[in-house]
């Protein structure tokens, strides 16, 4: 998209090109033009290592009553989906914890949803999350939140 605008601005003249470059620098400074993560996650699944392609389409965060919710829309393993990563502070130990509830209605059920979110989180943070014993939720720790902060400057510091 930026390349297309750059070509059009060149055709319109130096002033238009300079203004576009100024706008691009401003956007980069705010993190507005940061590329969304994509890659192939190597994760451990059912005792073996597998490679899962991941392409994040949209990602944003909101604070909600003491919780930080990070919303991610992505294509993982060829299947599109939306996931919410919720982080909070556990009052007894002051530890940062988080979770994503796995969906029974996801293509392939909870197990496949768990595999997809595990790959997604690995691409976003560099760290594999844990899956609870009942395969009902994915669990996060502070290292996952810190990894996400490096992913997008639009996430709160």
Residues 129 and 58 in one domain: yes
What pLDDT digit, counting tens, does each position of 74-94 carry? 999 999 999 999 999 988 998
Secondary element (H or E) of residue 10:
helix 2-12
pLDDT digits (tens, 9 = 90+) for 82-133: 999 999 998 899 899 999 999 999 999 999 999 999 999 999 999 999 998 8
Which residues pair with residue 100 across a beta bridge? 138
pTM: 0.74
- State the Cα–Cα distance between residues 67 and 106, nearest whole angstrom: 25
Mean pLDDT score of the chain: 85
- Are both 72 and 19 inside the same structural domain? no
Task: Show the domain range for 20.
Answer: 1-33
Whether 66 and 103 map to the same domain: the answer is yes
Regarding whether 85 and 53 lie in a shared domain, the answer is yes
Lowest model confidence (mean pLDDT) among 51-55, 58-62, 134-138, 147-151: 147-151
pLDDT at 35 over 60: yes
Highest mean pLDDT among 20-24, 29-33, 42-46 belongs to 42-46
Q: Tell me what pLDDT residue 113 has.
A: 95
Element (H, E) at 130: strand 130-131
> Is there a domain that residue 155 lies in?
no
74, 20: one domain: no
Q: How many structural domains does the chain have?
A: 2
64 and 5 belong to one structural domain: no
């Amino acid at each position: 998209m930026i390349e297309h605008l750059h070509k059009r601005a060149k055709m319109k003249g130096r002033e238009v090109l300079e203004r576009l470059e100024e706008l691009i620098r401003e956007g980069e400074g705010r993190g507005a033009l940061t590329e969304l993560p994509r890659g192939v996650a190597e994760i451990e699944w059912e005792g073996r290592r597998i490679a899962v392609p991941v392409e994040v389409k949209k990602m944003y965060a909101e604070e909600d009553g003491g919780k930080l919710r990070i919303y991610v829309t992505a294509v993982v393993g060829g299947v599109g989906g939306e996931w919410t990563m919720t982080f909070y502070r556990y009052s007894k130990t002051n530890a940062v914890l988080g979770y994503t509830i796995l969906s029974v209605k996801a293509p392939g059920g909870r197990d496949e949803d768990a595999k997809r979110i595990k790959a997604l989180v690995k691409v976003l943070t560099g760290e594999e999350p844990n899956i609870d014993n009942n395969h009902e939720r994915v669990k996060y720790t502070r290292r996952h939140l810190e990894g996400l902060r490096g992913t997008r400057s639009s996430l709160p510091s």
